[in-house]
């Protein structure tokens, strides 16, 4: 396989992959430090289930958005506070009452946490810093599909509508980490990345440990989010209820997905 691009459904929310990476260190029962979990719910955390947010549920139940090993779930505490039920709650008309709660109380907070992780990663600016749309994309210097995305994004980037933030990883070839570190360590990383994308050869060389560790940290983030294709891009979108969510495009997007990711037709 030339790259790690796999045939996937391109557009999907990040929550499915990110729960694997964040379940151990993301939102957890620690969020309830000022309001301790009931013993019956705490017992589940002792078994490895992460509790994210509390929510109201019908029938006198108290709901908790939770996850374990990447699997999202709802936990319902009975009115006596001594028992829990894990599963899907249905009403008398057969409507699934759990799915909307999982979306609000598990996926949404995890996506917010993931966006913060992307912001704190080691990325290279590509485009106007005041561009209204930000897209994070995991970029390997040896990835031909990353090259295609860079070229396809030029109309939006050059028009000042989109800023790409390239999270440099080294996963495709033996010299990928060294190339990524070399770009990050350049006097002007944005220029170095642009030159590389425009055909200039990068001669990988040993870099200060700081930059090698930056690439390693980016690789770890890539893996912790359950990703396996470069480029993988993430962007925010507004929902009908006014909340902000994240979508990802794994691999080189097709024309329709590219327009959705960029937020408009090509200028």
Q: What is the pLDDT of residue 191?
A: 97
DSSP alpha helices (H): ranges in the chain? Answer: 15-22, 39-45, 98-102, 108-119, 144-152, 154-158, 176-184, 189-197, 209-224, 255-262
Highest mean pLDDT among 98-112, 124-138, 231-245: 124-138
CB 221 within 8 A of CB 208: no
Q: What is the pLDDT of residue 242?
A: 73
Cis-peptide, bond into residue 231, ω within 30° of zero: yes
Integer CA distances (angstroms), 220 to 21, 129, 138, 168, 223, in order: 10, 26, 12, 11, 5
Q: What is the pLDDT of residue 35?
A: 60
Domains in the chain, please, with CATH?
Answer: 23-110 (3.10.450.70), 121-262 (3.40.30.10)
- Residue 91 to residue 177: CA distance in whole angstroms: 53
Residue 27 has pLDDT above 70, yes or no: no
Q: What percent of the chain has pLDDT over 90?
A: 72
Query: What's the predicted TM-score (pTM) here?
Result: 0.79
- Residue 134 to residue 136: CA distance in whole angstroms: 7
Residue 69 has pLDDT above 80, yes or no: no
Q: Which of 1-10, 221-230, 243-252 has the lowest mean pLDDT?
A: 1-10
- Residue 162 to residue 118: CA distance in whole angstroms: 16
Q: What is the pLDDT of residue 26?
A: 36
Kindly report, residue by residue over 169-206, the tens digit of the pLDDT: 999 999 999 999 999 999 999 999 999 999 999 988 88
Q: What is the pLDDT of residue 205?
A: 86
Contacts 24+ apart (CB under 8 A), 27-34: 27/52, 27/53, 27/109, 27/110, 27/113, 28/52
Kindly report, residue by residue over 76-91, the tens digit of the pLDDT: 999 999 999 999 999 9
């Amino acid at each position: 396989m030339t790259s790690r691009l796999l045939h996937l459904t391109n557009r999907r929310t990040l929550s499915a992959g990110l729960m694997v990476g964040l379940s151990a260190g993301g939102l957890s029962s620690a969020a309830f430090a000022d309001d301790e979990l009931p013993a019956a719910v705490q017992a589940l955390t002792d078994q490895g289930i992460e509790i994210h947010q509390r929510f109201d549920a019908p029938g006198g139940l108290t709901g908790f958005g939770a996850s374990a090993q990447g699997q999202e779930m709802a936990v319902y505490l009975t009115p006596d506070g001594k028992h829990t039920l894990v599963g899907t709650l249905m009403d008398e008309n057969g409507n699934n009452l759990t799915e909307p709660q999982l979306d609000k109380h598990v996926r949404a907070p995890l996506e917010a946490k993931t966006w913060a992780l992307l912001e704190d990663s080691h990325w290279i600016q590509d485009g106007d810093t005041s561009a209204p749309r930000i897209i994070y994309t995991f970029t390997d210097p040896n990835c031909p599909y990353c090259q295609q995305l860079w070229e396809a994004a030029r109309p939006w980037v050059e028009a000042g509508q989109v800023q790409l933030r390239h999270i440099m990883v080294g996963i495709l070839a033996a010299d990928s980490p060294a190339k990524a570190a070399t770009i990050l360590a350049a006097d002007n990383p944005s220029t170095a990345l642009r030159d590389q994308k425009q055909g200039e050869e990068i001669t990988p060389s040993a870099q200060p440990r700081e930059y090698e560790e930056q690439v390693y940290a980016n690789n770890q983030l890539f893996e912790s989010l359950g990703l396996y294709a470069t480029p993988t891009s993430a962007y925010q979108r507004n929902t009908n209820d006014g909340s902000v969510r994240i979508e990802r495009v794994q691999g080189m997007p097709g024309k329709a997905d590219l327009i959705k990711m960029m937020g408009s037709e090509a200028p």
